[in-house]
Structure 1
Amino acid sequence: MSLNLLSCLTGQNKAKIEWRLGVNAPKYYPIIVASGSLSNGRKSAPLTTRADVNDGWGQSGLEMSTSYFIPNKLSVKWFSYAEDKFFGGSFDLPEDTLRTLMKQGFKRPNGSIKGYVYLYVNMYPQGGIALWAEAPGSRIVEIGHFQAKEIDYDWKSMYPSSKKSGREDYNKMVMADTPGAEAYIAKHGFSQEPFKTIYRQRYNYTISIDSIPFSRTEFIQFKSFNGEMDTMEDEELESNFFKTKAVPKNIFFRWRKGMVVYFGEIDFNEDEIFKAFASMQKECKEQPFVLYLKPDFSTGKLGVCLRGNNQETQDSVEIEIKKAGRIGKSSIQPHQKK
C-alpha cells in the first residue's frame, strides 16, 4: 500500500491545507458515534455524533465544517446496533503521509495540482476502523486500518429522551429499518471480513481496452472494493501499467474517435470478480496480468476478461467475466472544444 500511495504523491507546488471530515459504516452494520475527533494536540475536528450512519462501505458522510491542520490522532467511541456493543480507542495516524498528501496533493497531467480535501472514517464489525483521503472526483487512497476495543459506556446518556424504549427495543427498531440486514448477518455474521483483509488484497495488473490506443482514451476511472479510486488520463494511462491495485468494483472510461465520444462502464459482481482474480493469480504464479475491456458496438455491451500467461506451461490464460457492462456514444457538436 505504501508504494502505491507514494506513487500518488507527485506535484511540486503545494496544495492548500483544507479538509472536511466524514464518518460512515457498511450498509448492514449501522452505528452511531458517541464521541470522536481527529486532532493534532492543539486543534481538533469532531466526528458526527447522535446520528445513525450506514450509507455503505467507503462512503464519506461528509460534514460541512472545514479544518485547516494536519491531524496525527484519531479518537472515537461508537455503538454498533447490529452487535449491541460499544467500541472505542485512540490511534496514532501516519502524520508524514497525511502531511505529504495535504501539502503536495498530486500533479495532474495538465500540470494543475489536485489537493486531498476529504478525510473520512468507516467503522465495521468487531471494532474495525478504516480511514481514507480523497481528492474529489479524482483519487481516493487508503490511509490505514485500526482496531478498537469493546468498552463500557452509558447507553442512556446517548438517548436521554428515550423513556419508553429500552436499549433492546431501540436496537431492534434500528435494525428493522435496515432492509436486508437480518439475512445478510445470518449469512456473514459479525466477521471483520471482507472489509479488513479480503477487499484489501492487491494484484499486479493493468487495464487495456480492445482496439483503442491510449492516445484516444480520455480517461479511465477505477473504483475498487477496498474504497480506493483512481482516475487515469494522458500519460497516466500508460505509466499505470502493472501496478498493484485492489479488485475493481466499477470502471468507467471514455474515448474519442473523430467527432464521436464513446464511453463504457461496468459494475462488477463481487463473487464473480474475486473468484476470477484468485484463479488468475493461481494460474499466473504471481505474474502480472491484464484486465481486458472489449466494447461490442453491435450490441452496446462491454465484455471483460482477464488475460495472463502461465510461466510453467507457457500457455496463455483467459478468464471470461460473464457479467457485461455497457457502452454508448455521443456526437461532438462543431462549436464544442475538442
Structure 2
Amino acid sequence: MKYFEKREDIINGLLTILLLIILVANAVQKYNYKADERFEWSSGVLSSKGNVVQVSGCYFYHTSYLNYVVDKKSIIDDGWDDINYSEESISDAFYPDSLSISWFSYNEKKFYEGKFVLPYKIILQKAKQLRMAASQDENNFTVENSDKIHLSFLAEILPKGKLVVWISNDDKNLKIGKYQAKIVNATWHVFDDSHETDTTSNIDIPTKVALVMERCPYTIEVKLPSGFHLRDSDFIFFNQNHWYFDSREPEKIPVFYGIPDHVRLSWGNGKKEFSSQFVFKEDEILNFFRTLKVQQNQKPLLLELKINNTNDSIHATLKNANKSLKILPSYMEVYPLAVGNNVVESK
C-alpha cells in the first residue's frame, strides 16, 4: 500500500512540474510574441528629385525577419511621386528595427551600401501617433481597431550616400532618422535576378550610365502602309520614362530627349490589325545618337520607324539633315491580331 502511495506522490510531483513547465513556456511565448506590438506594414524606397538611382536591395526588418524585396530593375529619381514599394506587405509582425540597403547612383557613378539599427522605441511612439491620427478620419472599424491601420517605412536616398528613414500613413510622414551609407566596390550583377546564371561577365557601367543620363532632342515618325492607321502604342526609354500614344485621343508625337530602349507599335485598317515590338541594341543606339548629336541651332534628329507593305517587318533609321544610319534591332517581333472571330494572317 505504501508502495502505491509513494508512486502516486511521484506521479503527482511529475505532473506538477510538467504543468509548471507548460505555464512558464506559455508565459515566455506570450512575452516574446507581444501581440500589442504586432502590426500591418510595408516598406519602400524613393530618391530625391533629380538624384537618379537604382536600388539593388532595401530590406526593413526586425531581428532576422526580412521584409519582401523591392524591384531592383526600377530607376527612381522623382521624390515622393516615384516610390519603389516592396512587392508585398507584412501583417501581424513587429515594426522594423533594422535597415539594409544598397544602390547605384547614376549621377555619381558609385555603388553605396549601408546597414543601420533603427530606434525601435521612437518607431513605436511615432507609429502610434500616425495610427491614432488616421483612425480619426476613418470609419468605425479603424477607430476601434487602430492597430490594423497600415503604415509604410520608407528610405529616402539623397546625394553623396545620405539617407533619411520615414514612417508614413500615406497622409503624413514622420522622420525616424538620418544615416550615411558607404561607397563599395560592386559590379552590375548586383541587379541580377536569382534565376540568372551569368554572374561574372563584364558589364560596361559607363555605357549603362550614358544610356540613362545622356539627352539628345529627336522626334519619332512612324510610316505605315497605305490605308493603315497607328493604334495604341508605347515608346519606352532607357531612363524608364515612357510616352503612350492613345489612338482614341491622338496627339502629335512630341520631341523626346531620352535614349530609346524599345517601342511597341500597333496599327490596322479595320480588316487587318497588327502589333509589334522593336528592341534597340544598347551600344549601337548610343553610338548612333552620339554620332549624329544635335549641335546648337540645328533641328532635332529624326527616328524613323517604317513598316513594310507586307506588315511583317519594321525598318528603323536615325537621321539628321546630312546623314542617316540604319538601326538593326536586338529583337523584333511583328504579329497579326484577331479581328472579330477571325485571326488575321500576315502575308
TM-score, length basis structure 1 = 0.48
**Higher Rg:** 2
More helix, by proportion: 2
**TM-score normalised by L of structure 2:** 0.47
User: Does 1 or 2 have the higher relative contact order (CA < 8 Å, sep 6+)?
Assistant: 1
